[in-house]
Amino acid sequence: MRRRDSISIFGSAVAWPLAARAQQADAMPRVGALFGTAENDPEGRNRIDAFRQGLEKLGWTPGKNLRIEARWAGGDLERLKAQAAELVHLKPDVLLAGATTSLVALQQATRDIPIVFAQVTDPVGAGFVASLARPGGNITGFTQHEFAIGVKWLELLKELAPRVKRVAVIHQVDNPASAGYLATIAPAAPAFGVELTVTGVRNTADIERAIDAIAGMSDSGIIVLPGPLPRRDRIIALAEQHRLPVVYPFRYWVVSGGLASYGIDNVELYRLAASYVDRILKGEKPSDLPVQHATKFQLVINLKTAKALGLDPPIALLARTDEVIE
């Protein structure tokens, strides 16, 4: 097992016989966690740290009375599937799915081990659960937002860059949630006076071609949909290079230099997911734990990036912004 693919959290070294330490480690409850981001991605670290903090508040200390096995796909969906199978083979007590693509991979790998998801859109429509109130099966968790938020992203883009007439929507082509966002954005485009194009990507080369194409047309902008896209830094750099206004789904894009975002506090969902992992470890069934919605939303604007793009965000927009990065 390669170290970069796994985090195995053990207790501090003490003077116990090796066999005794191994026996205690094997007796600990085990949680498997699957993430679409890279292990060294700051956002990925924030997510697992929040999950771990949530567990610790509930009395679970990794290395003392709990073992966590984490896998990181780095935006590679084939690797994600392989890691899901690897985690299931370890027979953990509970699995944590970080976002939709991770949940898809884990659902395909097991119908028996309890799965808690932390960041999924429309779990009923996607077939993950039977209903929000009574999930049934082995899956439950916390949703991020409804697909209708896509219209808010389009509205935000037009407020920031009123001259935009062409909007490219970039999404991870294998993310099943993309269709739901597109189904709300496309019908709204005429009301905002924009022509919409949709580009599915899988890798950095696809992203570069997509951004170069939209940059070749005047009065253009971009909406990036949620999903495990590789090279966040490259997307932000290309947008700046081509002077393209881009709206993103989460705050961490803007912290990294993106223009603006509107979305839920996704890191908080991983703290909340810990509460369901705790309840399952104590004997409750995922089928009896209702799916819960995110309640905290954030509008974030990077003024430095706006100025570099020659944009002057309206005072009314800034007044309702939750965080302005300067």
pTM: 0.84
Measured between alpha carbons, how far is 297 from 279 in angstroms, rounded to an integer?
A: 26
DSSP state of 62: B
User: Which residues are paired to 246 by β-bridges?
Assistant: 222
Amino acid at 35: F
Measured between alpha carbons, how far is 325 from 254 in angstroms, rounded to an integer?
A: 8
- What pLDDT was estimated at residue 26? 60
Q: Is the pLDDT of residue 1 over 70?
A: no
- What pLDDT was estimated at residue 27? 79
* CA-closest candidate to residue 62, choices 9, 5, 12: 9
> Angle at Cα 271 formed by Cα 269 and Cα 273, nearest 5°?
70
Domains and CATH numbers, the chain: 3-144+266-295 (3.40.50.2300), 149-264+298-325 (3.40.50.2300)
- pLDDT tens digits for 283-314? 999 999 999 998 889 999 999 999 999 999 99
- pLDDT tens digits for 97-147? 998 999 999 999 999 999 999 999 999 998 999 999 999 999 999 999 899
Using pLDDT thresholds of 50, 70 and 90, give the confidence band for residue 5. very low
Measured between alpha carbons, how far is 324 from 301 in angstroms, rounded to an integer?
A: 5
Measured between alpha carbons, how far is 253 from 31 in angstroms, rounded to an integer?
A: 28
- pLDDT tens digits for 223-262? 999 988 878 899 999 999 999 999 999 999 999 999 999 9
- pLDDT tens digits for 170-205? 999 988 899 999 999 999 999 999 999 999 998 899
Measured between alpha carbons, how far is 311 from 133 in angstroms, rounded to an integer?
A: 45
Measured between alpha carbons, how far is 125 from 49 in angstroms, rounded to an integer?
A: 30
